[in-house]
């Protein structure tokens, strides 16, 4: 699994706490059995560590590419000259490339999160949006 997929799944899992049904700002919990809720909680714990590791690596890359400043200069300027503008652009491009590299890294077995079945999500009873199901990706088995 790639880091990007893990981060997307973490976002999707966070949405499984419940849904807003028009009755104010309180969530209505999804009807999931105890085993499914426990699998979701365990997966979230593992994926939060992946997120923490990604943020740490991303911040380290930012520090490295900005010579310890830790913040990219605004690409909008103002610039002293064209060379300064080119330097800022190069920093942004280098950071974007490094970020893509970090997001594309394979986790191997380090993020064993388990899986839940489609049946366990009880989609006929739970109005889980397709956008959330999409984010869950490989966490959901088609059994």
Q: Hey, what long-range contacts does 78-81 have (CB within 8 A, 24 or more apart)?
A: none
Tell me the pLDDT tens digit for each residue of 38-74: 999 999 999 999 999 999 999 999 999 988 888 898 8
Average pLDDT taken over every residue of the chain: 91
Contact, 121 vs 128, CB < 8 A? yes
At residue 47, the pLDDT reads 95
Confidence (pTM): 0.85
87 vs 99: CA distance, rounded Å? 18
Decide if pLDDT at 28 tops 90: no
Instruction: Delimit the domains of the chain by residue range.
Output: 3-141
């Amino acid at each position: 699994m790639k880091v990007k997929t893990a981060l997307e799944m973490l976002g999707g899992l966070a949405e499984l706490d419940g849904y807003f049904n028009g009755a104010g700002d309180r969530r209505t919990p999804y009807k999931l059995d105890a085993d499914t809720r426990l699998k979701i909680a365990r997966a979230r714990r593992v994926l939060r560590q992946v997120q923490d590791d990604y943020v740490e690596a991303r911040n380290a890359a930012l520090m490295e590419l900005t010579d310890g400043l830790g913040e990219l200069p605004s690409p909008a300027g103002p610039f002293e000259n064209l060379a300064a503008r080119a330097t800022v652009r190069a920093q942004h491009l280098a950071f974007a490339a490094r970020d893509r590299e970090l997001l594309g890294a394979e986790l191997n077995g380090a993020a064993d999160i388990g899986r839940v079945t489609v049946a366990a999500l009880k989609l006929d009873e739970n109005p889980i949006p397709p956008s959330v199901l999409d984010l869950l990706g490989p966490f959901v088995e088609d059994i």
